[in-house]
Structure 1
């Protein structure tokens, strides 16, 4: 029963962040920002459900309550740009009772803090608008520290004023670097700051309650969250829309909306112009609608602007953290569409390599997601689409073409159906366990392949990266544990937990008002060797050099993520991979002189440096020089590689771009790792001992009787 529920919950929740239906909110009087009776009931139930059912046992004591309160302050004021020390001191008086208050559903402190927060936002916005009327001197050497090593609350209004002066200057300079005229910059920033105050004034009691309860859940574990009745309704709408929209998973980060990932087959990924880490700074409707600045907006409001009916046009203005791009905002036009199953389907190709004047072939299977057409299956359709069925067919085609090994490309595959991860593993092993699932009560269930026989028994490798997650990690881990194939690339994302949705009303008999829902982490995945896929992900047998420059990424970058741990191994029979060290040495020797990998490694270094940056210069000449240096540094490496492949580099920032040439450029870069992984697999094929051919048996002729 538990595993049946988990199969559904592994479907990516991209729809949750790409679809929402929000009515235009109105300003809410301060007098209405007090706890409601329904919220008190919900708080009591949420506390009990978390204590009983969450995978990580919750002890609601004073230490934990202090962490909840810190998370709440961080949710409201992550940059410590509104509250001052005297505010925090006053809040702490009430926060000391928070553990007892939460048990009783007393939410007074949460609403008290928010009311003060709203007043502080008004004060800061008024200052920002006043500063906009001044002329800034961008010739002086000064810096803006946007993420201090130790965050401290300002001790005075003067100190906070100085912080905001630099903040406004940085906002202004960022737009000037994007070649905006000063008059337009002032108008745009005025709308941005006024919009910030307007949206905070539109927070109602449910919004405050949801923000506080999510601070509570986030203090436990990052994938547990509370959904208010409105948010729950939007979630239901999004699931019915079947990922209709642009196909992008978004998250809030301070005042920016960040692209966390793109969905295979969706308009965002198909455009090739939207990448993980991009900041959405503007949204416009249609081909000629006005661009709205969305910096500082709530995630839900940005999503509301991006969402729209199938076939309609939305334009996004993006700032990129991708190395080699300028700090200028770029505009991307997308046609909203429904993401179809065939757009996410597995694809095959063949890589040919010459070895000693002999052409050798490696088959490549690109699997963007673990999909299964549940609607068709439930309707009784016998030939419903699924990853396993498509891969089985593709394997037969590749085998018929004479490939000597199969490389499965799971880069960027964020997961999908657990059933498919299990059955896909079954194509490469005979029978046996694939993954173990441990629930909050310590019960362990094993998901196993029970279908005897294999679809492919030859040499196998799996290519993964930092964005391979969930079901991808389950498949890769099983292949590694069985010794069935090589894992190549970067350490994976590390998402090894399972969530379920719980209606709060289930625990309040007779309650007619909707109290919302809780998305609860109630189980964890474990490999068949006993180790978890949580946090550490899957470590490749052969690591690419880009992995050496990874900062905290994926699950490892999230606060309060569940730790890596292990349980008793399952019973299974594994093979031992030989020659791994030799294969790694041969690969490293090739990569050391490979122009393509030099480019990818340089890009990883630059991403690491960007992630580590905590401050920026407010001197315009310095900022422009830094921007140009970074751009030139990457493009020089990229162009050098493309020239060796006979490809003329395309400037993505140009006014008119040849889209076909740009796509060819992207594909060439995407093939660098695939081609090296194929070379590694071919090395493994060549190192295998030749099969022993039995000597012919001479059978003596039967004696011939003579007459």
Structure 2
């Protein structure tokens, strides 16, 4: 059984707080290999330029294999999903709506005449899937979508040639059209397309681009988007179709085709097989964003960030042109089994001329994604008596655990986040830790078993979570080991992105009175369990089934706390709530998703609370509230909340250039003023050590970092989805509701979710800082009743020196 990985709606929310941008960054983990040799490109390796390649519309038809896969997936959902809902006319109706929304979430492409035509299928999709074994509706709707997208691209190109882009009126654009009606006819559709193009043009103009640059950028963007859909095959259509069906049952059931299945396993295993490069496509060229340390690409010393990959060859085979190719498909070409060879045709980042080509030969290898594994920090803080306390912080991005869909029995690269956390706890205790913070702010879930094991590190023994299946049977999942790896003061830090398994851990530690919970007004609210089923196990071998039928991940159970309350929908409410823009967002959390299962309760399990928090909670809240009220950083958050509420109520943007310039100048001035104010503060910076798993077995501590800064984070992880396929290692899925049908802007920035500022800013993590202060207070109050390990006394308010 497994939970899922982080939060659908996160990316949308961050766009809203950042100015409601319509574009988004696209990145994926590229695949990997070993040692490389540079050589001059042979003449036959020169690839065709993107502008010369015609876009050929897809001509797809459903195959018998597609129908078999759909039938098996539908039957599994009917018989084994938690709701036991039959695929009847009611489900068929919602299925049709979900499928249309998958392609056109912003209601920009399908015309109302299209909808009237597709209405024929409203109560017949169940018959087509279960009785006719015919997926004609799925392919017919996709072809109509492509036709409308093609019309949009043609119209946009015409506008780019003829339109005089002036922005001197009071025109406004409706940014979020999810609840708006579909366009009545082509005239209204063109009006919407023109508005969107004008918005995109203004965005580029405000970024300082010249008219000819803007025209070229937008033309390529729309062409690239159309080309991506022109390259779709049956598996892509089936992916969207069956995902739409699964989401009718609940938002965390998913169909994963072969590629998505591999990405899901990579996210759980924290490992991939390939060359070890993070890729992006800023201008239609597959570009290296980052090399993964220790991977074949990095070890070769022959590749570097900003190198552009224009061709990929398997072994000694011919090169395949990948310019303007769907980035997912490029990744699939580069990724491959350990020990196999891939050749890359590359334009070096430092090439004097873009016509320069080099061939790099790499042998793929297995790469561990260590930057997404658990990590720790040790921080020194003086308490109110001047005694220096060492605080341990464990950052746990997910509850990862080895998952292998290949059937291999090789356990040489087995991963367990519980084992990793145990090692980090041992190191922190050996270095004098007196209090612990478990940071689950970006943890979207993962393995239920790993979550139970980690909870057991902090309680003597007893029920951790209750699980009820679709038949109403309740199973109590317990920690049976009376040993505690840490029995001292503890804080758990959560956010609206904390979901699934992370909510189980937080809820259990709260029910036992074991830790002080600190964070947003509630966690995400994903209280469901998903089981992955390989569809090949349900299908007889057949000559018609040439592809891997993929995997169905469907909800089989609901989680309940030890006290009997569900974590579903409502999430877990912290003991101390901190100000956050996420507290007021309507686009984040389980309630923002379609078809969530309801909240309910069952009978409480029998357990003995430790009651280590309640005696101190009122005083801890009082002290925290005083600090937050006096904090300039939290004052900034309150300002951001006020602005965000106005944005959320309006959801339109001005297309007046002068007004937008003023808004941008005000935002930039606000950012600089905050940055300047932070630099003028005379804040005590505690001595801090960052500890990775590689440091655990080394004697002593690494060199302390120069200043207090957040535990290193992957920006990718924050945008992932509980119930989506995986976290940062996942390739961008064609089922993403915010992506299909919209031109991709790979250069759009995402901004920090609490302040609207860049998440890579060197400004300290003031939410973590407040959690540290709460823990220091807790440790001081705790020490009055029970001993802590000895600290070192320094003058009050002073920090210890290296």
Alpha-carbon shift at residue 305 of structure 1 (Å): 9.8
Aligned residue for 1:553? 588
CA contact (8 A) 2:174 2:652 kept: yes
Which structure 2 residues correspond to residues 344-423 of structure 1 after superposition, within 5 A?
A: 344-371=373-400, 387-389=417-419, 391-392=421-422, 395=425, 398=428, 404-423=434-453
Structure with more of its chain in helix, by fraction: 1
Instruction: Indicate the SS of the match to 1:144.
Output: strand
Task: Show the counterpart of 2:101.
Answer: 74
**Could you say which residue in structure 1 is the equivalent of 2:168?**
139
Could you say if the C-alpha distance between residues 480 and 302 of structure 1 is closer, same or farther in structure 2, counting changes exceeding 3 Å?
farther
Q: Encode CA deviations 1:262-302: one digit per residue, 9 max, x unaligned.
A: 99x978xxxxxxxxxxxxxxxx995353999x9x9978458
Residues 1:594 and 1:428: Cα distance change in structure 2 (over 3 Å): same
Give TM-score scaled by structure 2 length: 0.67
Aligned equivalent of 2:207: 178
* Map of 2:564 onto structure 1: 530
Distance 1:42 1:344 in 2: 35
Matched, 1:287 2:381: no
Summarize deviations over 1:210-231 as a string: whole Å, max 9, x none.
Answer: 3222221122222222234565
Which of 430, 433, 442 is 2:463 aligned to?
433
1:189 maps onto 2:214 in alignment = no
Q: Report if aligned partners of 1:351, 1:678 keep a CA contact under 8 Å in 2.
A: no
Q: Is 2:546 the counterpart of 1:509?
A: no
* Cα deviation 1:184-204 (Å, max 9, x = unaligned): 211222222233333333333
8 A contact 2:459–2:514 mirrored in 1:
yes
- Which has the greater radius of gyration? 1
Equivalent position of 1:130 in the other structure: 158
TM-score normalised according to structure 1 size: 0.75
Aligned counterpart, 2:725 = none
Distance 1:445 1:165, change over 3 A: same
SS in 2 for 1:355: coil
Unaligned residue ranges in structure 1 (runs of 5+)? 1-5, 251-255, 257-261, 268-283, 316-335, 649-658, 694-707
Aligned-pair CA distance for 1:394: 5.0
Q: Deviations over 1:449-508 (max 9, x none)?
A: 211232332322212222223332222111101111211112223333332332334333
Of residues 564, 588, 596 in structure 1, which corresponds to 2:625? 588
Q: Distance in 2 between matches of 1:540 and 1:67?
A: 35
The answer on 1:683 being equivalent to 2:783 is no
Q: Assess if the C-alpha contact under 8 Å between 2:268 and 2:446 holds in 1.
A: no
- Cα deviation, residue 597, structure 1: 2.3
After superposition, the Cα gap between the structure-2 partners of 1:198 and 1:371, relative to the gap in structure 1 and judged at 3 Å, is closer
The residue that corresponds to 1:272 in the other structure is none
By how many angstroms is 1:443 displaced?
3.4
Between the aligned partners of 1:504 and 1:394, the Cα distance in structure 2 is: 38
Greater CA drift, 204-213 or 79-88: 204-213
Cα distance, 1:239 vs. partner? 7.8
Which of 42, 67, 80 does residue 69 from structure 2 map onto?
42
* Corresponding residue number in structure 2 for 1:329: none
Conservation of the 8 A alpha-carbon contact between 1:227 and 1:517: yes
Bigger mean CA offset, 469-478 vs 669-678: 669-678
Query: Is structure 2 residue 87 aligned with structure 1 residue 56?
Result: no
Q: Is the deviation greater in 505-514 or in 560-569? A: 505-514
Q: Deviations over 1:612-669 (max 9, x none)?
A: 6622222211112112212322442343233214699xxxxxxxxxx99997996864
Give the gaps of 5 or more residues in structure 2. Answer: 9-26, 33-47, 294-302, 312-321, 348-364, 686-704, 711-758, 788-802
Asked if structure 1 preserves the Cα contact closer than 8 Å seen for 2:425 and 2:485, the reply is yes
**Distance in 2 separating the partners of 1:106 and 1:413:** 40
After superposition, the C-alpha distances for 1:597-617 in whole angstroms (9 at most, x for unaligned) are 223444455556556662222
CA distance in 2, matches of 1:520, 1:249: 30
How many residues are aligned here? Answer: 622
In structure 2, how many angstroms separate the alpha carbons of the residues matched to 1:218 and 1:314? 40
Higher relative contact order (CA closer than 8 Å, sequence separation 6+): 2
Partner of 2:690: none
Native 8 Å contact 2:380 2:390 kept in 1:
yes
CA distance in 1, matches of 2:373, 2:181: 46
